[in-house]
Structure formats: C-alpha cells, structure tokens
Amino acid sequence: MNTGRTVFSQLMDFLPLADFRRCVERYQGDYKVQRFSSLDHFLCLAFAQLTYRDSLRDIEACLHAQESKLYHMGFRGSIRRSTLAYANEHRDWRIFADFAQGLIRTARDLYHHEPFGVELDETVYAFDSTTIDLCLTLFPWAQFRRRKSAVKVHTLLDLRGSIPANVFVTGGQVHDVHLMDALVPEPGAFYLFDRGYLDFARLYAFAQACAFFITRAKENTQFYTRRFHPVDKSTGLRSDATIRLTGPKTSRLYPDLLRRIHYFDPEKESRLIFLTNNFPLPALVIAQLYRSRWQVELFFRWIKQHLRIKTFYGTSDNAVKIQIWVAISIYILVAIMKKRLRLDLSLYKILQILSVTIFEKTAILQHFIDIDDETSEDVPCTQLMLFDL
C-alpha cells in the first residue's frame, strides 16, 4: 500500500486535511495565491521541524536536493526562500493555530484513558508558561524589559498523555496571570497553578464555575482557621485545615471557605502550603496532584530541546506564532501516530527515527520494528519519559 511513498507523506496521512482546508478558508489563507499554498507552507515548516532545519536557507537547500520527490510528498508549489519568508510575514497565523487545536482534540480523545500517577477519574490540567528569549533589536514588538525581548508560550496541559489542551502565544510583556481569563473552566476538572497565578478574584471565578483549583499560598496570606482535620504525619502531611481569608482585599475577592494543607517534602526538604477549594479528596491526594504539575515543566523542556522554537525563521509577530503553532502541531501529530500505530517507543525516539528516514520509500511502520527504547541511554533527561507507557 505504501510502495513508492516517502515516510514524510505517510506521516502526513495522519493529518485531517479537510479540517486544514476549512481553517484556510476561514482566514482566506489562499486568497489570490497561485504558487505557494497554505498547505505547501505547512509542509515546509513541518519538514523543518522533523529534520531540525535552522534557517530558511537550510530548508530551501535540503528540499531542492530532493526535488524529484517533492510532488509525491505533497508539495505543489516551488520552494523558494523568499517565498517562504513572505508567507511567514503575511499569511494569517490563526490558520495554523486553529488547525493545531483540531489536532489537539483528536489527540486528547486518544489519550483520555492514560494514567498520570494519581488515581482520579476527573480531568486534571496544569497551567504554566515558558519564556523564549529573543534579541531586542530583531524582535522589538516583544520587548518586556529595558534591553530584552521574549515570547511566552502559555500552556494548559492535560496530564493524561501530556497533551496541551490550550496554548496561547504572547509577547514577554504579558503577565502570566492575565491568561487565566482566557481559560474556560471545565466543571469538575482540577486546575493546578503555581504561586505566580495566586489571584483570588480569578480563582473564585473557577470555583463559581464548579471547577477545582490547587495552588500554593504566599507567606503573607491572611486567614483564620475554622477547623483542623486529622492527618497522618508519617506521610509528610503536617496539617489540613478549613480556613477563611481575612485580608481586607482577599476576603472580598474570595468570600468562600478554602482548604489549607501543609505538606513537608522529604526529598527536597521543603515545606509546601497548598490552597484548594476541594474538600472531599484526602489531603495526601491533593499534595500528589500538585506534585504532578511538574509534567508541564517537562513538556516545556521537551519541546525546547527537540523542536525548533528557540531560533526563528522570521522576526515578525506573525512569523514567530506560525512557527510555534506548527511545532506544536508536529508534537501532536507524532503523538497521534504513536497511538494509532501502537508504538511502544518514546516520542523522542520516534522523532529521531523520522528525522533520518523522512525521504525513504518504505512502509513507515517498518522503521519502528524491533527497536529497543532505552531513552535513559540515549538522552539522560527525565522529560523524555512523557510518552513511555
């Protein structure tokens, strides 16, 4: 069935092209375009992500070296550095953002039964951001300090399968807490926030939407204790209390009761104070849930190390967002392929194999047969275990 087809074209078969065309039509991405369509644009950047290309010149040279295969890989327009640069500057980045969100929905359906370390039926999300430093001279639109520019990738990560449920790309000047307003709370779900998102008005909005949150308290939080609950101190718990905020501002912003859990982490020898609006779960489960928030940090490390989002092919706001969204699409696409082909390999190993077989004309599954997945020997990074099931 795959005789004569490149590995790249077989991988692209997992893309819902009908959805992509709808995204293109929604934003008129191919309006008056004759030679370099939105699909050609996506395929070029997907190739760059899969093969670790560092520049537009690099992309152009590598694709021209395999020009006889490009038509069968799905390319219909000529690949020129200037054409790709123009498309990055002018084609609406929302085409690629909407398409990535569609891939995310598909991946979450495939991974929604995956365990994440805590026995819990409800959906658990971790929300955080990562900062990508940029040159102020080249990226003045993203300035957030006197001599520094940066772009932030804010991610709501579904801990089942480490699939991003929502991604927001902003300039570095946008404070993390403001992105909480862009989230639509899911009733019954748990949201894990670090201390930088401690905004009681916004947290109260989550509580009003019947969603649960777990965050860390600040040392100067004013409260009084309504009731103490018994705890087993051998587990690391020190206290579990029902409290009410008493600060002149916080008591108005969050008028309901809260749960305050004091936990001692013996591994790091640190004391952690958690605040949550969930009362039925055992205190130790609350602590374990917050500990699983670390998966979003591992996700950020992974995409920074193994996808091209630290150096950019263009300097405009539009070009940066397109590249980030295509990188996320490739991350999700490979995760979908892994699940549908039932591969027992880490995502890192799959990407490495794809990078060197992209032009091969053999069945894609053949390249993953009888391969041992020993990621600890390949790259000694814990984040490579994200998809080791």
**If pLDDT is split at 50, 70 and 90, which confidence band does 380 have?**
very low
Say yes or no: 172 and 264 in one domain. yes
pLDDT tens column, 226-246: 999 999 989 989 999 999 999
Give the domain-ending residue among 297, 328, 346: 297
**If pLDDT is split at 50, 70 and 90, which confidence band does 98 have?**
very high
Please tell me which residue, 309 or 191, carries the higher pLDDT value: 191
Give the DSSP H or E segment for 287. helix 283-291
Say yes or no: 49 and 122 in one domain. no
User: Is 309 part of a structural domain of the chain?
Assistant: no
**If pLDDT is split at 50, 70 and 90, which confidence band does 125 have?**
very high
Over residues 303-326, the mean pLDDT reads 91
Say yes or no: 342 and 252 in one domain. no
User: Is 303 part of a structural domain of the chain?
Assistant: no
Over residues 111-120, the mean pLDDT reads 86
pLDDT tens column, 209-219: 999 999 999 98
User: Is 110 part of a structural domain of the chain?
Assistant: no
pLDDT at 277: 96
Name the average pLDDT for the chain. Answer: 89
Residue 365 phi, psi (nearest 5): -65, -25
Say yes or no: 289 and 349 in one domain. no
Percent of the chain surpassing pLDDT 70: 95
In the structure, how many helices (H) and strands (E) does the chain have?
13, 10
Let me know how long the chain is.
Answer: 389
Residue 389 has pLDDT above 60, yes or no: no
Residue 379 has pLDDT above 80, yes or no: no
**If pLDDT is split at 50, 70 and 90, which confidence band does 2 have?**
low
- What separation in angstroms does the CA of 176 have from each of 179, 181, 197, 239, 354? 6, 10, 7, 30, 35
Say yes or no: 82 and 217 in one domain. no
User: Is 174 part of a structural domain of the chain?
Assistant: yes
pLDDT at 32: 86
Say yes or no: 352 and 254 in one domain. no
Say yes or no: 20 and 123 in one domain. no
User: Is 308 part of a structural domain of the chain?
Assistant: no
Residue 387 has pLDDT above 50, yes or no: no
Cβ atoms within 10 Å, residue 115: 11
Residue 95 has pLDDT above 60, yes or no: yes
Give the domain-ending residue among 245, 268, 297: 297
Give the DSSP H or E segment for 192. strand 190-192
Residue showing tokens 């995204």 = 23
Say yes or no: 284 and 204 in one domain. yes
pLDDT tens column, 290-306: 999 999 999 999 998 88
Say yes or no: 249 and 202 in one domain. yes
Q: How far apart (Å, rounded) are the C-alpha atoms in residues 167 and 153? A: 7
Angle (CA) 348-354-355 rounded to 5° is 90
User: Is 189 part of a structural domain of the chain?
Assistant: yes
pLDDT at 121: 86
Give the number of domains in the chain: 2
**If pLDDT is split at 50, 70 and 90, which confidence band does 388 have?**
very low
Q: How far apart (Å, rounded) are the C-alpha atoms in residues 138 and 317? A: 11
Strands 148-158 and 163-171: antiparallel
pLDDT at 372: 67
User: Is 280 part of a structural domain of the chain?
Assistant: yes
Say yes or no: 180 and 276 in one domain. yes
pLDDT at 385: 41
**Window from 156-165, 333-342, 369-378 with minimum mean pLDDT:** 369-378
Print the domain residue range for 323. Answer: 7-96+317-385
Say yes or no: 263 and 356 in one domain. no
Helix, strand, or coil here: 10?
helix
Say yes or no: 154 and 289 in one domain. yes
Give the domain-ending residue among 239, 266, 297: 297
Residue 274 has pLDDT above 50, yes or no: yes
pLDDT tens column, 344-376: 888 999 999 999 999 998 999 989 887 766 554
Nearest alpha-carbon partner for 165 in 185, 151, 150: 185
User: Is 112 part of a structural domain of the chain?
Assistant: no
pLDDT at 267: 80
* CATH number, residue 189: 3.90.350.10
